[in-house]
Amino acid sequence: MKVYISFDMEGISGIVDWDQCTGNGPAVAMGQELTLAEINAAIDGALMAGATEFVVNDAHYRMQNLDPRLLHGDATYISGAHKPGYMMEGLTSEFDVIFFIGYHGSISGVPSVMSHSYSPSVFTELRVNDIEVGESGVNALVALGQRVPIGLISGDRATALQAEPLMKQAIMVQVKESITRYAASNLHPHLAHKRLSEAAERAVEAAKSIDLPAIDLPATITMSFQTSDQAELASWITGVERADLRSCTITGSDPLALYRSFVGVCYLTRQAQGR
């Protein structure tokens, strides 16, 4: 039984500020410790259900947030920011189930701690087939393309609400309740770890009966941008069509190709910065 874990940090219990998940210093060190503990709790639960192999993909910020020596289950650790598969780097059809740990809500949805959609300086909204999604919804395209079910998603209530339309059978673990974009009521880490471990065990046991993400093909990703300049830049990529002044679409029958084009949009619009 092979488990793929993509993790973010904004949805980890106890993390409510950018200083806890970017840069250097004691705040981010604590955030990284909290994140590692939640990932290890999920791995421990999966081991209890018979999982034998783990790949952990670092999907946050510069994507080098963990000490790989401390990962449980002898997990392989994928790190580094320049990855063509981005938040889903390393996922292949050989995996049996996917976990999304520490995910968060989109910037255009209900209040969610540090809400954003890939890049808060670029996107104001993302939709898959006209369903507003968070990052989990876009990443689900890769799960569909590789035909691997998503078994567990953790974060706040907004994370669960936005994931549910496409991933109805995924076990949702709420480890915090967002109050505003910069405040939350957080479960004690011990309780969060217990819930994650139990959910991971159930997700591995149920993996073969979990449906693939409910995304009809051909699918369309609709991207709304902060500025018209960003929409113009995005339209330079083959397959990306301008929809209106500040939005573009990508449509296709291959979910992996759709995601790869989306990753290209992410890198181009974020890195250009007018230079």
Distances in Å between the Cα of 5 and the Cα atoms of 47, 78, 96, 188, 200 are 13, 10, 11, 22, 11
104 tagged catalytic: no
Strand arrangement, sheet containing 76-78: 76-78, 53-58, 2-7, 97-101, 150-155, 171-174
Q: Please provide the DSSP assignment of 204-250 as one string.
A: HHHGGGPPPP---SSEEEEEEESSHHHHHHHTTSTTEEEEETTEEEE
The answer to whether the beta carbons of residues 193 and 42 sit under 8 Å apart is: no
What ranges in the chain are assigned the alpha helix state H? Answer: 26-48, 135-146, 157-163, 189-206, 228-234, 255-272
Q: Edge-to-edge, what's the strand order for the sheet holding 240-244?
A: 131-132, 123-128, 219-225, 247-252, 240-244
CA 225 vs. chain centroid, Å, equals: 19
Rounded to whole angstroms, the Cα distance separating 101 from 122 reads 23
Query: Which residue in the list 82, 116, 188, 190 is annotated as catalytic?
Result: 116
Alpha-carbon distance of 53 to 247, in angstroms, equals 41
Which residues are catalytically annotated?
116
